[in-house]
Structure 1
Amino acid sequence: MNTNWIIETKLCPPQLWRDLIVRRRLDGEFLRWRQSKLGLIIAPAGYGKTSLLAEWCERWSQEGAHVAWLSLDDNDSELLRLMSYLIAAISNAGVRLGRLEMAARQGLADTLTDAAFASLINQLAECKQDVVVVLDDYHRVQSAEADKLLDAFIASAPDHVHVFISGRERPKIIHATYRARDQLIEVGSDALKFTDTEARDLLGPAISAAVLDGLIHQTEGWAVALQLAKLWCEDRHDAAAPKAADLLWSGNVADYFAEQILFELEPSLQEFLLKTSILERFNADLANSICGRGDCGQILSSLHKLHALIFPLDRDQCWFRCHHLFSDFLKRTLEKERPQSIPTLHGAASEWFEKEGFLVEAVEHAKAAGDTVRAAGVVLSAGGWRLIIEYGVGIASSLLQQFTAEEVRRFPRLQICQAYHCMKTGDIARAHRLLEELEPLRAHGGREADAATLRDYEHVSGLLHRYEDLPMNFAELARTREKLKSADENDPGDLAVRLTEACLQPLVLGDIEPAQAASSEAIRRLQASGQVLPLNYCYFHLGLAQYHALNLNEAEATISEARALAEENYGSDSGLKNIADGLLGVMRAERDDMGAAENFLSSSLSYIERHDSWLEIFAPVYQASASVAYCAEGHEAVLAVLARGEMTAQRRNLDRLQTLMLAERGRWLAYFGALAEAGAVLSDDRLAFSVGAWREDPFQWRRHHAVGMARLCLQLAERRPDGAREIIDDLEAAAERGGRAYDAAQARIFRALFSYAAKDEINGAAQLLKVLSIAAPQNARRLFLEMPLEIEDLLRVCRQQSKLRASGSFLRSFIEDLLEAGRLRRMRLKTHKRLDLLSAREREVMSELSNGARNKEIARVLDMTENTVKFHLKNIFAKLGVENRAEAVAVARERSLTA
């Protein structure tokens, strides 16, 4: 298959003929190009807009500019396609765009349009030469999104980038600004009309003066009509100009001449022109397929005398197109004289384009033939939903947009493809609806569907289950492993899906050692089969498994390898790279390298919230983002990140993420000392904790651990050791069962802290030293830095015990680093603008309360009712964990919580 779906001939201006009449009277406009941001060449069809721009392109190139040309057509209204072509055109002009060019030639597969746009503008800024971007036939683009993109491009591009647009109507973009700044060049139909002198130069001296005057009068300077008239006259040296009556009967002077020219050609040439009129572009081989003959190369050579109407689109003169007006005339003639042949011609074109790997054009012609069955067949024969696995979402978007919703539903496998496309672009709800409609296929035992449809349905439904984070168990994992044994090694798509499921599902169940083994096997087999996209995902799964196993060094190396793979194959702005960046942000946060973590996480989080992601990515990225927010801005920033996670959970209907974010909120509030509020959060029924629940429902391991950790944090802060040991034992047992060394380490740290709180310093230090000895080689700092503050005292005891035991200095160095990092965190937080648990209005109430004001006085000063004051006081008491005004004032003064 031809995955480079860019049509190269759209990136080249038509080749100029030697006898082109150069309109030097427009030189004044041309000479202003360096000072202009925008040029508009607007006129009806046939006025020579393209010829003028092609001539100017040669002159711009001679003056040292990079000249990017893009011929637009009706399919370029789709934003991703237009953006891809714009990037390809600029790259084709010689501007270095790095991997962005590769991403564009893959249809910006797995790449955010915003990110690609920003990258393009930045790369243009680095280019030191003038860049001229020509968008020819912009009237064919009918899209508000396209207009918005073009507006943004012109406004954002550096001053040495100049955009010239041709079209039959003024584009719906903002151009008054550029006119006001004298940065706009406008050329209209009046300026493009041939003057009498230019018309005489074009028609030549061989035509008699009388005929010449008549033709100039009748064509009124219309370029294409003059060119047609010239061709008409070449074999009629002394013929009279056509009569006015003939022109009136024709209704169009250009049609009159076109008809005269066409029907005086040999029948074989007429047939060639009429049949190829259905094509936007053609070459000899395509024309042979359309016309059912083998001599179209010779025919093309014999049409040199129609050079004003048929343009070569490349320097090698392999591809051609007709002048649009002449093409329109030929199409109308074909529809009038041979309407029954049109579907057959489009069908032949569709077959040729499919054979050559141009899937988008193959579907276009099948649809034009009225053959929706064939159009769907082109997509499905190329792999259907597996196209997205192999080549990303770009080409799938271009194919699927050609079908209406009703047409998609006629073909179950096409509907499955649409569902997977929705999953990859973040529209999980629509994907669910599309697959739910197909549930009867499976319910009826496959009687209504073939094996390929059932297989596709099974694969994509399984993937949707993971995007929706639906419950699963070990029995389902066992079935997946059995299916993997029977996977078809000769079917790369089938193998890729089963391998990916086999390494993701143990992760979902928190079974880490099998997850690592399955991921390593999947990577080996996918490397052998060349499946790059699923290979990237399996690297993510392996990295996450290594992270849970507290092997941070390997995890970061694995994720870095995944990031390099994503960037090499899909570009620097790809979705895969954004996921990799998010996971690298997690790794850097674990090392307390918060600056690097923030750089990785800032753009990644926005991407995964809107596009391709699943719970195993969301959970660690939100947790790490909360840590970064705390170090950068303090308490309120943490709660904002967690609220953001809750919104994502609600939008995507992810129950586990919802409860995880609530549990994290409770843990952080306890860490801040907002004990009453933490208690209120943890009293939510969704955060109920039951010892041993993980044995009955292993799918809930993540929620179980997070809720247990939050409760331990609150109990330690409240000095309530009752029941803590039972929770710790349970969390540790769950973690050991799943091979989750990271979770086990957290539980053991709390065991040490509770021992220390019970005045058993030696035992607490011994327990913590065991965790430190495991964490130190991995430089795992966040494990300790986000524990209750008592850990710093216990770390000092550990440092002393380490000296007494004559332990290695590496461990003591790690302890020193932790103590210093904790001190630096506190210092940073003190320098921040005060952000606390009280809202701005609550701080104002607290200030008046601290001054001894009564409710009525507070209400008058702050323009509130007394009931509103009482409402605020109730919230303040709950947040501060106090019961009366005096206690509130004392706590507020201690924590500097007044306005």
Structure 2
Amino acid sequence: HVHLIILTRVDPPLNLSALRVKDQVIHIQSEELHFNYDESAEFLRRNINTDLDEDTINDLYQKTEGWIAGLQLAALSLRNRKGPVALPFNEENRFIINYLMEQIYSQLSDSLRGFLLRTAILNRFTGELTEVVTGCKGSSEFLDVLRRENLFLIPLDQRGNWYRYHNLFSYFLKKRLAVELPDEIQALHYRAAQWYRAQGLLHESFDHAVLSGNQEIINELAEAYVEELWDAGEHALLLRRLSQIPERIMAENVKLRLYLALLKMDAGEVDAELVKIVFSESDHDYSDKERGMLETIRAAYGNLTQKAEIIEKHATSAIKLFKTTSPMWQSNAICILGRTYFLSGNLLEAEKYFKIAYEEAQEKGMKVIAFQAAFHLADTLRTQGRFGEAKALCHEQIRQIENHEGQPVQYLGNFYSILGEIACEENHLHRALMNGVKGVMMAEQRNNNLQLCITYKKLLNTYYTLKDVEKVKTILSKLRYLQQHSFLPSWLKSPLRVAQAFLYMMEDREEEAINQLQPPEILKAKDLTVTNEDIRELLFLARLYLRLRKPEQAAPILEKLKDFLAKNHRWNAYLNCLVNRAICSHQFGNEFEAEAILNEALILGKQKGYCRTFLDADYLLYPILSKMSFKKNIYDYAVAILEAMEIELSFSACSPKTVQLIDPLSPRELEILKLLPSRLSYPEIAEKLYISYSTVRTHVKNIYMKLNAHTRLEAVNIARARRLLQ
């Protein structure tokens, strides 16, 4: 018996079908000779002297697609490299270029080379498409040649209709095309664009149209294609597509310019040049719809910069212009107008406009506008303390997006972030962290700066509650990076200040934290108008004053805010204000007033479902809460808050269970204790009190022992909780 082994790129002149039936042949085809991922990893590790990490192996596998010769060339290229080899092997590697040129390309006929070069512009193709692009009938027969000779042709379906070239071979061909037939490239793309458009494949048609540089076909496609992507919520993709269009074409197409400007606003990619263009754009020859689009963009800029007067002026104008021309854009303008009222603190009016935009968009099937409006509506409901309604709306939007294909996903992270904020206030901290992190991860995947800012800001609130200093530092670092490398909305400046102040506070550097925040001059205006972020910052400033036992500084801030917050139904901030006012009255020595204010806060907290607003006041609030006699209508709720606070304090340095010292502090120890919150070192304390350094150390050890503390910070916190620093 003779066993014949034939190695060939071309099927031999044998009756393979008959031999298969008789089980007299084993036919191993090229696809069976490709390594899978595990085989590729094993091959590379055996043939390269350097340890490769998983990312590098995966990159090599994706580029070579398991092609063994390609992996061998990669191994040859990397074998003698020293040090890290993070992704050093690419399509321009000389081993790959030389191999494909000498072993494959130079061996082909001129006609086949011409076919390969002209079809290299296609990411996928059919026989019919190759004939259109090459301009030669019958050229699709070359596909049969490539298939028979196993020349890097990869089928994309079972019927053999669609194909593509191997990644490395495709890149090689494109480089050769640029060298050998540079004058034909735009014409090839134009033919491809025409064919794809005829098949209704707008994505690929638009790609090739842009690369063709043909203004006529770009303008023809833009009308339908741009609105299709906008309606589908594919804003990131649309922004990339429009950014690829030559400037000369953009300059002559009003609608494309307007879409590009709005997309950049939406993505937070705003620079001085864009703002200049938006506000200097002449609209004298625009249609009503185009004027409305321009007004909407100007209103969107007002939203980013927190200028309510700009939003109101331009959004109102846009609504009128869109009344008969575009219901989709009208709903968008109504939603932006809602932001005017949200920024100015009028939540009832904001809710009304967000609800109108949401319901209109839902009725007319405008998914993007519906999700935009739903997000703002849910955030407004959360701010009003209407947690049940906000959660129901968020869950409904998440269900719609996750259960149906073709839904815009860029707002998914925002809805999870709102759920995270609500869960945090309800003291479901694990759920809060899970939803908040999920929201951030989704925003990071979308690579949208504005969505990142929203989700980072909302996650910060959970990290404040958890007192997770390292996580706050991480997010603050990311936000500052965004601030340096792109445009950030004006409303983010306040959260950045608060985050830095929080870090100072956690180091017991309250004075520096206060200096980090904006002074409360904003409250001196006769007609008080403060944004949501201003309110957060002012309430945090008041809390810092209370930590320093300076109620005289906190009281004016809280008095000015309380009526404004109640009038505008900002119940989350109003409750925070009540808690701070109760602490303030307590520090003034007015216990009756402190308990009355705290009783009002507990009634509101029970009604709305708040929890963390009380718990986050911990040792400042505990002396009032622990002595109160709760009324029947809030008894269970108040006791639950008190018990939760005692549990949290028992795990911190400020345990309420050890109010009385076993061994009282001496006058000298009290004197030293009151200097510990300062930044004075122990030698400096010794110098200040005219005693020796060793004496200070002895007293500090005694203080630690009597307070059951292990560090200076713990001693200070315990002393504050027991009011020893007064």
TM-score between the two structures when normalised by the length of structure 2: 0.68
- Per-residue deviation at 1:406? 6.7
What RMSD in Å do the two structures reach over aligned CA positions?
5.8
- Per-residue deviation at 1:541? 0.9
- Which residue does the alignment assign to 1:695? 527
Relative to structure 1, is the Cα distance of residues 469 and 176 closer, same or farther in structure 2, using a 3 angstrom cutoff?
A: farther
Relative to structure 1, is the Cα distance of residues 778 and 801 closer, same or farther in structure 2, using a 3 angstrom cutoff?
A: closer
Q: Is the 8 A contact 2:288 2:325 kept in 1?
A: no
Tell me how far apart the structure 1 counterparts of residues 557 and 569 of structure 2 sit (CA, whole Å): 18
- Which residue does the alignment assign to 1:825? 648
Relative to structure 1, is the Cα distance of residues 732 and 401 closer, same or farther in structure 2, using a 3 angstrom cutoff?
A: closer
Equivalent residue in structure 2 for 1:371, among 200, 214, 217: 214
The 5 Å alignment of 1:496-515 reads: 496-515=331-350
Tell me how far apart the structure 2 counterparts of residues 642 and 274 of structure 1 sit (CA, whole Å): 50
The 5 Å alignment of 1:141-290 reads: 151=56, 153=58, 163-164=66-67, 170=73, 176=79, 254-255=108-109, 282-283=125-126, 286=129
Relative to structure 1, is the Cα distance of residues 766 and 667 closer, same or farther in structure 2, using a 3 angstrom cutoff?
A: farther
Relative to structure 1, is the Cα distance of residues 153 and 519 closer, same or farther in structure 2, using a 3 angstrom cutoff?
A: farther
Q: Which has the higher contact order (CA 8 A, sep 6+)?
A: 1
Q: Is the 8 A contact 2:426 2:610 kept in 1?
A: yes
Tell me how far apart the structure 2 counterparts of residues 826 and 646 of structure 1 sit (CA, whole Å): 33
Provide, for residues 539-563 of structure 1, a one-character-per-residue CA deviation record: whole Å limited to 9, x for no partner.
Answer: 2211211111111232233233333
What's the secondary structure of 2:345's corresponding residue?
Answer: coil
Relative to structure 1, is the Cα distance of residues 768 and 178 closer, same or farther in structure 2, using a 3 angstrom cutoff?
A: same
Relative to structure 1, is the Cα distance of residues 173 and 478 closer, same or farther in structure 2, using a 3 angstrom cutoff?
A: farther
The 5 Å alignment of 1:681-830 reads: 681=516, 686-691=518-523, 693=525, 695=527, 698=529, 700-717=530-547, 720-722=550-552, 726-787=556-617, 789-798=619-628, 800-802=629-631, 807-808=632-633, 811-830=634-653
What's the secondary structure of 2:348's corresponding residue?
Answer: helix
- Which residue does the alignment assign to 1:446? 284
Tell me how far apart the structure 1 counterparts of residues 75 and 332 of structure 2 sit (CA, whole Å): 45
The 5 Å alignment of 1:250-649 reads: 254-255=108-109, 282-283=125-126, 286=129, 308=148, 314-319=157-162, 346-367=189-210, 369-375=212-218, 377-383=220-226, 387-388=229-230, 390-393=232-235, 395-396=237-238, 399-400=241-242, 402-403=244-245, 411=253, 413-429=255-271, 432-437=272-277, 439-442=279-282, 445-447=283-285, 454-466=291-303, 468-473=304-309, 476-477=311-312, 480-481=315-316, 483-484=318-319, 487=322, 491=326, 493-568=328-403, 575-602=410-437, 604-605=439-440, 611-613=448-450, 617=454, 621=458, 623-630=460-467, 632=468
Tell me how far apart the structure 2 counterparts of residues 156 and 828 of structure 1 sit (CA, whole Å): 51
- Per-residue deviation at 1:518? 2.3
- Per-residue deviation at 1:590? 0.8
Q: Is the 8 A contact 2:495 2:533 kept in 1?
A: yes
What's the secondary structure of 2:361's corresponding residue?
Answer: helix
Tell me how far apart the structure 2 counterparts of residues 169 and 373 of structure 1 sit (CA, whole Å): 47
What's the secondary structure of 1:771's corresponding residue?
Answer: helix
- Per-residue deviation at 1:781? 1.1
Tell me how far apart the structure 1 counterparts of residues 314 and 414 of structure 2 sit (CA, whole Å): 29
Equivalent residue in structure 1 for 2:33, among 50, 56, 63: 56
Q: How many pairs were matched up?
A: 636
Relative to structure 1, is the Cα distance of residues 313 and 600 closer, same or farther in structure 2, using a 3 angstrom cutoff?
A: closer
Q: Is the 8 A contact 1:649 1:657 kept in 2?
A: no
Q: Is the 8 A contact 1:795 1:819 kept in 2?
A: yes
Question: What letter corresponds to residue 446 of structure 1 in structure 2?
Answer: H
- Per-residue deviation at 1:395? 3.2
Question: What letter corresponds to residue 273 of structure 2 in structure 1?
Answer: R
The 5 Å alignment of 1:826-845 reads: 826-830=649-653
Relative to structure 1, is the Cα distance of residues 817 and 313 closer, same or farther in structure 2, using a 3 angstrom cutoff?
A: closer
Q: Is the 8 A contact 2:414 2:451 kept in 1?
A: no
Q: Is the 8 A contact 1:519 1:542 kept in 2?
A: yes
Aligned residues with identical type, % of pairs? 16
- Per-residue deviation at 1:780? 0.9
Provide, for residues 24-71 of structure 1, a one-character-per-residue CA deviation record: whole Å limited to 9, x for no partner.
Answer: xxxxxxxxxxxxxxxxxxxxxxxxxxx9642436xx8xxxxxx79xxx
Relative to structure 1, is the Cα distance of residues 768 and 406 closer, same or farther in structure 2, using a 3 angstrom cutoff?
A: same
Tell me how far apart the structure 1 counterparts of residues 586 and 636 of structure 2 sit (CA, whole Å): 22
Q: Does 1:897 align with 2:720?
A: no
The 5 Å alignment of 1:15-94 reads: 53-56=30-33
- Which residue does the alignment assign to 1:872? none
What's the secondary structure of 2:160's corresponding residue?
Answer: coil
Provide, for residues 608-631 of structure 1, a one-character-per-residue CA deviation record: whole Å limited to 9, x for no partner.
Answer: 68734369936951651442341x
What's the secondary structure of 2:431's corresponding residue?
Answer: helix
Question: What letter corresponds to residue 399 of structure 1 in structure 2?
Answer: R
Q: Is the 8 A contact 2:295 2:314 kept in 1?
A: no
Relative to structure 1, is the Cα distance of residues 365 and 762 closer, same or farther in structure 2, using a 3 angstrom cutoff?
A: closer
Tell me how far apart the structure 2 counterparts of residues 315 and 588 of structure 1 sit (CA, whole Å): 49
What's the secondary structure of 1:428's corresponding residue?
Answer: coil
> More displaced, 276-285 or 775-784?
276-285
Question: What letter corresponds to residue 751 of structure 1 in structure 2?
Answer: R
Relative to structure 1, is the Cα distance of residues 709 and 570 closer, same or farther in structure 2, using a 3 angstrom cutoff?
A: farther
Tell me how far apart the structure 2 counterparts of residues 457 and 278 of structure 1 sit (CA, whole Å): 37
Q: Is the 8 A contact 1:669 1:675 kept in 2?
A: yes
Q: Is the 8 A contact 2:328 2:361 kept in 1?
A: no
What's the secondary structure of 1:382's corresponding residue?
Answer: helix
What's the secondary structure of 1:538's corresponding residue?
Answer: helix
- Per-residue deviation at 1:164? 4.1
Relative to structure 1, is the Cα distance of residues 745 and 795 closer, same or farther in structure 2, using a 3 angstrom cutoff?
A: same
Gaps of 5+ in 1: 1-15, 23-50, 61-66, 69-129, 134-146, 181-187, 191-219, 225-251, 263-271, 833-841, 862-884
Relative to structure 1, is the Cα distance of residues 322 and 618 closer, same or farther in structure 2, using a 3 angstrom cutoff?
A: closer
- Which residue does the alignment assign to 1:868? none
Relative to structure 1, is the Cα distance of residues 777 and 301 closer, same or farther in structure 2, using a 3 angstrom cutoff?
A: same
- Per-residue deviation at 1:733? 1.9
Gaps of 5+ in 2: 1-8, 16-27, 42-51, 84-92, 96-100, 656-676, 715-726
Tell me how far apart the structure 2 counterparts of residues 589 and 762 of structure 1 sit (CA, whole Å): 31
- Which residue does the alignment assign to 1:242? none
Provide, for residues 157-197 of structure 1, a one-character-per-residue CA deviation record: whole Å limited to 9, x for no partner.
Answer: 9xxx99447669956998549999xxxxxxx999xxxxxxx
